[in-house]
Chains A and B, each alone.
Chain A
Amino acid sequence: MKKKVLSILLACAMTLSLAACGNTGGNAPAAPAGTDAGDAATPGESVASELTDGKFAETRHITVEVYDRNNDGGSDPTNNVYTDYIKKGMLEKHNVEVEFVAIPRWTETDEINTQLAAGTAPDVCVTYSYPTIKSYADMDAIIDMRPYIDNYKSELPNLWNWLGETNLYWNSDLEDGTTWAIEAKLANMNRVVTFIRKDWLDKLGLKEPTTKEEFHDVLVAFKENADTLLGADANKMVPYSVSYDVGWRAATLIESFLDPNMSDKEYYVNGFDDRKICQNGTKEGVKLLNQWYNEGLLWKDFYLYGSGDATEDDMMKAGYVGAFTHNWDYPWRNGEDSIAANLKRLVGDDAKYIAIDPFEDKNGGHNKFLAGPIDRKIFFPSTNDEPLASMLYLDFISSPEVIEFLQVGEEGVTHEVLEDGGYSIIAATGDAIQNSGMNIDYTITCNGLNLTTEDLTKKSLAHTYAGIDPQDILDADKIAKTDTRIGINVNVGDIEAESGAGDTLTAKRDTCFDNAVKAPVADFDATWEAGLSDYLSSGGQDIIDERTAKWDAVYSSENIR
């Protein structure tokens, strides 16, 4: 008898579990789209009644995405000194309860995809890729932010002050103003500069190179004196290191071959690839690299080590690399594990990289193309039923005092005040540890040091990297800001050919660059042309054509700045 009951029970349990599984498959995703879109359709009308002195009468609750970088010895990204500060501030100022949701940094898109599909995405989401957001919009998974931006303007003074029309309307549709995401502001627009080993220059009695030719001569000198510079490790020397991502890691060299005065139209039409594979002049830059490669001045195996591989960084840290081009503050990133700190430990106190500006353009300047003043993109999923509270959140973290606190923390814990009034960052411990540089993960409307006054920012910038000579940082900052051309917002509507094409074309571009650099000198032209034509025929040309047509339809002249 007992057995019989048991078996019936088991059978029931099984059928039930089966039925349950079947249901979740079919029904769950249905919930978000339709119902909530209706609720959110009339923003602005009830502002007056909802807020008194910027406060809700009843406590509201919102969830906010925060990257989880999983750093060794970091703090809990959803619960630390900085989240407490935000939570307290939001509750006091707006009577809004904030809950942080950790999203793994390196798989963020997959995670947000899943959460959007399940209807559990945070109310305030952030990502770097606008095409991703656009594809969400095409699937009705997110809401139009324009009505909230406009109708609540008076409630959002900090947001409007900080981002302004430029960034708030950056992605607005030309015709109906639909805005799927607003752009965070890039406070520090520095991009890439070239670094060289100062101690090697000194040892060989060389000057800092100021032209391509001088730079080449220095590289040759490094190579010829490898025994003096590296002793037993001489064969490990890499005079100039470029990774598989040639277009990024030789960007200043390549850009020096581009026309600094090219028209906005030309720059835009050929500019889908941010490594500039289609721009006129890029080929000459890669050709020079190809010559250097064949002279043995570059890293021979560069194309075998893919994205995220630490081999090249390790070579820099071990002191084998003479020069390289990278983010303007790259040698100083990551505190105790920075390239600079490792170099000091492993090679000696005088071993260090300094910034140089050796690639002259045809006008004798040092042409550098910058991106626009935009950074991450913020969007609200259609499950967000607190759009006003979410906008107030964005306003709160855009206020100068909040940005300053999040970036430099408390005096004595994360920074010291210097004699001239500037801040110097010191290593924090426990819950005060910043998981990302200057807490970029919390200041989602701002990237780059931006303190309450410009003077303070300037004085502090040089001290934001613990243990580094401030002068080195100021020099790099100055070079990064020399002869720059800031990207402009070209808004000509959707380019259909671009949708979904990005990653395939990125792979093609790397193939083209890498093969061209490592080809024998005699084969360079043929290799480059083959790679480029493969890129163009895989969708690159369609993008150029569509961009040209849409530019002509929207703008009447070649230049719009």
Chain B
Amino acid sequence: MAKDNKGYKAPKVKFDKVYLKRYYQLYILLALPLIYLLIFKYVPMWYILIAFKKYSIVLPVHKMAWAKHHGMEFFIKAFKSKDFIVALKNTIVLNLKDLIVGFPVPIIFALILNEIRIKKFKKVVQTITYMPHFLSWVVIYGIALQLFAPSTGLVNLLVERLGGTSINFLGEPGNWVRTYIGLGIWQSFGWNSIIYLAAIAGISPDLYEAASVDGASRFQKMWHITLPGIRSTIIVLLIMALGNIIGSGFDRPFAMANPTVLDKAEVIATYVYKAGIKGSQFSLTAAVGLFQSVVNVFFLLGANWLSRKFGERGIW
């Protein structure tokens, strides 16, 4: 940050009585979110220790006994477990596919939407595409079953009426992954496009006018003005997405999985739920969660470093 702000010097602020008297209300307002962070994000970090200790339901953390192998017992156990490795692999594969296929969609959608000149139509399209964002995955899976079930799904009935054979969208691992990615995109692209639309709105209209005068076509304007204009937004979002590459929501894979696709659908979150929470292995769960977070932090740092290397600002 400091480098970028070379030309600009912030006025020096004196933290004296006058200053505090004038602005204390702002600080009190700021205190609320800070307290929230402290209580719900920082205090619980103390309990990371559970990953290195033998969990007891009745003892406070500092009284629990250390786990074997210098506290690493549960990390060793996790990495020895073939199911954890499978879950780790699935998490990365599903997230990467999500990223590769799903990341460009809201950008393209925002670009297209931006070219529409009929305001009303644009608004209607936007509202409709936002809507799935507010549906829970349980509901979405319910809808998917109605549409894609091999014998009763609407889509498959249609396929059969047209003389084809029904496609097993949900019960065959390869197809399941495609359905999973597809539904993920359907659920989120409208909502994710908001931030790009906002960025596009911030591009100076002068540029477009100048380009028109120079005889640029629509596509050329998109390519040479709009896209570069939102480049830094794209980079920031990409960094954040990469920072979550081995993290994942629980409800999407959990709601969509069924026993026949489990070896593709078991991700870390669902593994932790089954092995840890349902099986009361809280230390193991904490160890896996900690590992996940640490790897995510490295990905985040790496992506940020890369983007700065390529001359972008990064997120800090």
Enumerate chain A interface residues (CB-CB to B < 8 A).
3, 7, 10, 14, 17-18, 21-22, 25-27, 29-30, 32-33, 109, 113, 116-117, 119, 131-132, 135-136, 139-141, 236, 244, 300-301, 303-306, 382, 499-504, 507-508, 510-511, 513-515, 518, 534, 537-538
**Given A30-B59, A507-B274, A511-B260, 16 additional A-B pairs, CB 8 A:** A3-B21, A29-B60, A33-B59, A109-B278, A139-B55, A139-B59, A140-B59, A141-B56, A141-B57, A300-B151, A301-B151, A303-B259, A500-B284, A511-B259, A511-B262, A538-B81
Query: Is B124 positioned at the interface, with any CB of A under 8 Å from its CB?
Result: no
Question: Nearest Cβ in chain A — how far from B186, in angstroms?
Answer: 19
* Distance, CA A236 to CA B263, complexed state (A): 30
Question: Nearest Cβ in chain A — how far from B22, in angstroms?
Answer: 11
Given A25-B43, A141-B57, do A7 and B150 touch, yes or no (CB 8 Å)?
no
Query: Is B204 positioned at the interface, with any CB of A under 8 Å from its CB?
Result: no
* Distance, CA A502 to CA B62, complexed state (A): 29
Given A304-B171, A500-B284, A515-B259, do A29 and B278 touch, yes or no (CB 8 Å)?
no
B-chain residues with CB within 8 Å of residue A518 when the two chains form the complex: 171, 260
B-chain residues with CB within 8 Å of residue A17 when the two chains form the complex: 35
B35 adjacent to A14 (CB under 8 Å): yes
B171 adjacent to A303 (CB under 8 Å): yes
B60 adjacent to A537 (CB under 8 Å): no
Query: Is B212 positioned at the interface, with any CB of A under 8 Å from its CB?
Result: no
* Distance, CA A27 to CA B63, complexed state (A): 11
One of B28, B38, B170 near A304 (C-beta < 8 A): B170
A-chain residues with CB within 8 Å of residue B38 when the two chains form the complex: 18
Query: Is B280 positioned at the interface, with any CB of A under 8 Å from its CB?
Result: yes
B28 adjacent to A135 (CB under 8 Å): no
Given A25-B43, A382-B58, do A537 and B274 touch, yes or no (CB 8 Å)?
no
Could you list 24 A-B pairs, sorted by A, with CB under 8 Å?
A: A3-B21, A18-B38, A22-B43, A32-B58, A116-B58, A131-B280, A132-B280, A139-B59, A140-B58, A140-B59, A236-B152, A244-B259, A301-B149, A301-B152, A301-B171, A303-B258, A303-B260, A500-B280, A502-B278, A503-B274, A503-B275, A504-B274, A511-B260, A538-B83
Enumerate chain B interface residues (CB-CB to A < 8 A).
21, 24, 28, 31, 35, 38-39, 43, 46, 55-60, 62-63, 81-83, 145, 149-152, 170-171, 258-260, 262-263, 266, 271, 274-275, 278-281, 284
Question: Nearest Cβ in chain A — how far from B175, in angstroms?
Answer: 12
B-chain residues with CB within 8 Å of residue A10 when the two chains form the complex: 28
* Distance, CA A29 to CA B57, complexed state (A): 8
B-chain residues with CB within 8 Å of residue A304 when the two chains form the complex: 145, 149, 170-171, 258
B150 adjacent to A300 (CB under 8 Å): yes
B82 adjacent to A538 (CB under 8 Å): yes
* Distance, CA A361 to CA B43, complexed state (A): 61
A-chain residues with CB within 8 Å of residue B24 when the two chains form the complex: 7
* Distance, CA A110 to CA B55, complexed state (A): 16
* Distance, CA A499 to CA B55, complexed state (A): 14
A504 adjacent to B171 (CB under 8 Å): no
Question: Nearest Cβ in chain A — how far from B9, in angstroms?
Answer: 31
A-chain residues with CB within 8 Å of residue B150 when the two chains form the complex: 300-301
B258 adjacent to A244 (CB under 8 Å): yes
* Distance, CA A502 to CA B81, complexed state (A): 14
Given A501-B279, A504-B83, do A29 and B151 touch, yes or no (CB 8 Å)?
no
* Distance, CA A236 to CA B149, complexed state (A): 13
B57 adjacent to A21 (CB under 8 Å): no
A-chain residues with CB within 8 Å of residue B149 when the two chains form the complex: 301, 304
* Distance, CA A513 to CA B260, complexed state (A): 9
* Distance, CA A500 to CA B275, complexed state (A): 6
* Distance, CA A538 to CA B87, complexed state (A): 13
The 3 closest A-B pairs by CB, nearest first: A500-B279, A510-B259, A139-B56
B-chain residues with CB within 8 Å of residue A139 when the two chains form the complex: 55-59
B-chain residues with CB within 8 Å of residue A14 when the two chains form the complex: 31, 35
B-chain residues with CB within 8 Å of residue A141 when the two chains form the complex: 56-58
B43 adjacent to A7 (CB under 8 Å): no
A-chain residues with CB within 8 Å of residue B145 when the two chains form the complex: 304-305
Q: Which of B145, B151, B263, B280 has the most CB of A within 10 A?
A: B280
A-chain residues with CB within 8 Å of residue B266 when the two chains form the complex: 507
* Distance, CA A382 to CA B58, complexed state (A): 9
A-chain residues with CB within 8 Å of residue B56 when the two chains form the complex: 139-141
* Distance, CA A304 to CA B150, complexed state (A): 10
